[in-house]
Structure 1
Amino acid sequence: MSRSLDDAVAALMRDTAEKTLLKHYQRLAIEEVSNKAVDDVVTIADTESEIMLAEGLARILPEAAIVGEEAAHADLAIFDRLSDKLCWIIDPLDGTNNYAVGKPPFGILVALAQGGETVAGWIYDPLSGRLCTAHRGQGAWVNGEKLTARGSGNDTPIAAISLVFVDKSKRASLMEHIAPHYTLVDIPRCAAEQYPRIALGQNDVSLFEKTLAWDHAAGVLFLNEAGGKAARPDGSPYRVDRHLEPGLIGAASPRLFDELAERLSRMPA
């Protein structure tokens, strides 16, 4: 992965955040927020950010298809592009529910996939300026410093378990059979924050039910390249062209991943 590509994407994300997300942050009018689905909103900032990112990424790498969250929501046929030879994946505003009420965390996620596998990812926090990057086989970086994932060091591992999209019976089973083995913390409702929390030692593990490509492509690669482990509960790799399949574990180390995966495998159906 060329340094020039990396620099161009990072510059685009910073510029987009400044001109769209930060411009509207804590200034949204009522008519600039709408419901996209149950418990899922979209704002004018999502739309403006995706347009700017898509146009910029098309200039950086014209041969790549583009799959943006809002465009795919409007046209389901766009999902088919996730298996293209080369594909940009855009989450223009991750953590929109937080952003819409004027609080952090929120961020931008961009990934580059090749034949359904993520080969590069960028995670940007507009408020702090933190930029996480990863390239397949080349490691993970935070603000230009190479990162090695680390656990929290807590005697009882710290877990952020997302129950938002889990059905009622499975939720009860998770709380009975999995939760007692961990110190539970609230989820940030923002993958652009959750994956860095795991890699940087704030959380040890996280469990996701819904695994859409724009939420997870960049974060999965970032965590794996940092030396943690993110994969399906059965250990199979996450692929962006199979992102509608449920279930994903992120862990600060392979050992922590294996422990949670084993507990899940023994959990009653």
Structure 2
Amino acid sequence: MHHPHHDAVVTLMRRVAAEIVLPRFRNLAADEIEEKAADDMVTVADRESEAALTAGLAALDPGIRVVGEEAVAADASLVDGIEHGRVWIIDPIDGTNNYASGIATFGIMIALVEDGETQAGWILDPVADRLCHAVRGGGAYIDGVRVQARPSGGERPSAVLATYYMSEVEIAALYARAERAFTVAPMPRCAAEQYPRLVLGTNDVALFQKTLPWDHAPGSLFLREAGGVVRWPDGEDYHVGDQRRGMLAAASPALWDQAAKLLFG
């Protein structure tokens, strides 16, 4: 099942990957990378990617507003009302720190959100040329093949724990709780890679601290449509517009329950 705009969105993403994102990968001059905030990079490629994606999406349907990560960085008010009406949400390069460091773990992400619920999502890994997409009520797909989330199948399930904003004491306590039942795995520092890992059986659960809409709108739909869950500690499903910290994603409801008991119990 495809969204009516599917082919146009995919063509646009592939063009931006081929013309803007890949040519600049491992090819950025020092003055083309800047630090937006501590540990938060932006490059000329992020800006050019977002400009091209914004123009392309705006042309598809003038009734849908476009909100991009870098536009919001420049004008925070653009994110206001993101849970009302129809909105394209763009992450022009997710995993910019990786991209700027020459590490091939980054992606281009687009979500179409209506009244706070993601209706369709696309995640392109330009290096592997892997396209993950999902349609609300219509399934999750990798390169056009329908997928179901599968457990990692290891002796213990695999957990990835983001620890932004946490003190060393809090981090140590979190790891101690998780390690009672889970093997803690390294995080890719890239939602465009983390959500597919939860579907493909690389990781079973992931704890996120940053919950910005462009990082989570496409991936949360992709994981849910594959049979996983993305919820707040109180058990409420994630939806765009809510930016609490400490959100837990899991490959199945049972894995979520098991992890939530340990991490939040």
- Normalised to the residue count of structure 1, the TM-score between the two structures is 0.95
* Cross-structure match for 2:261: 262
* Cross-structure match for 1:212: 212
Contact 2:178 2:184 in 1 (8 A): no
Q: Does 1:166 align with 2:166?
A: yes
Query: Any residues of structure 2 matched to 1:119-134 within 5 Å, and which?
Result: 119-134=119-134
In structure 2, relative to structure 1, the CA distance for the partners of 1:185 and 1:123 (3 Å cut) is same
The amino acid of 1:28's aligned partner reads: L
* Cross-structure match for 2:35: 35
* Cross-structure match for 1:176: 176
Partners of 1:231 and 1:222 lie apart in 2 by 14
Partners of 1:61 and 1:130 lie apart in 2 by 26
Partners of 2:3 and 2:205 lie apart in 1 by 31
In structure 2, relative to structure 1, the CA distance for the partners of 1:165 and 1:10 (3 Å cut) is farther
Provide, for residues 158-178 of structure 1, a one-character-per-residue CA deviation record: whole Å limited to 9, x for no partner: 111111333444322202222
The amino acid of 1:133's aligned partner reads: H
Contact 1:81 1:87 in 2 (8 A): no
In structure 2, relative to structure 1, the CA distance for the partners of 1:167 and 1:211 (3 Å cut) is farther
**Runs of 5+ unmatched residues, structure 2:** none
Question: What's the offset of the Cα at 1:241?
Answer: 1.4
Contact 1:165 1:210 in 2 (8 A): no
Provide, for residues 197-243 of structure 1, a one-character-per-residue CA deviation record: whole Å limited to 9, x for no partner: 0101111111101110000110000000001111212221111111x
Q: Does 1:71 align with 2:71?
A: yes
Question: What's the offset of the Cα at 1:63?
Answer: 0.7
| Number of matched pairs | 265
Partners of 1:167 and 1:11 lie apart in 2 by 43
* Cross-structure match for 2:93: 93
Q: Does 1:249 align with 2:210?
A: no
Q: CA RMSD in A?
A: 1.3
Partners of 2:191 and 2:78 lie apart in 1 by 22
Question: What's the offset of the Cα at 1:137?
Answer: 0.6
**Runs of 5+ unmatched residues, structure 1:** none
* Cross-structure match for 2:10: 10
Contact 1:66 1:81 in 2 (8 A): no
Partners of 2:264 and 2:92 lie apart in 1 by 35
SS in 1 for 2:241: helix
Instruction: Report which stretch shifted further, 179-188 or 199-208.
Output: 179-188
* Cross-structure match for 1:51: 51
Contact 1:191 1:219 in 2 (8 A): yes
Contact 2:3 2:135 in 1 (8 A): no
Instruction: Report which stretch shifted further, 189-198 or 4-13.
Output: 4-13
Contact 2:175 2:184 in 1 (8 A): no
The amino acid of 1:61's aligned partner reads: D
The amino acid of 2:30's aligned partner reads: I
Question: What's the offset of the Cα at 1:4?
Answer: 4.0
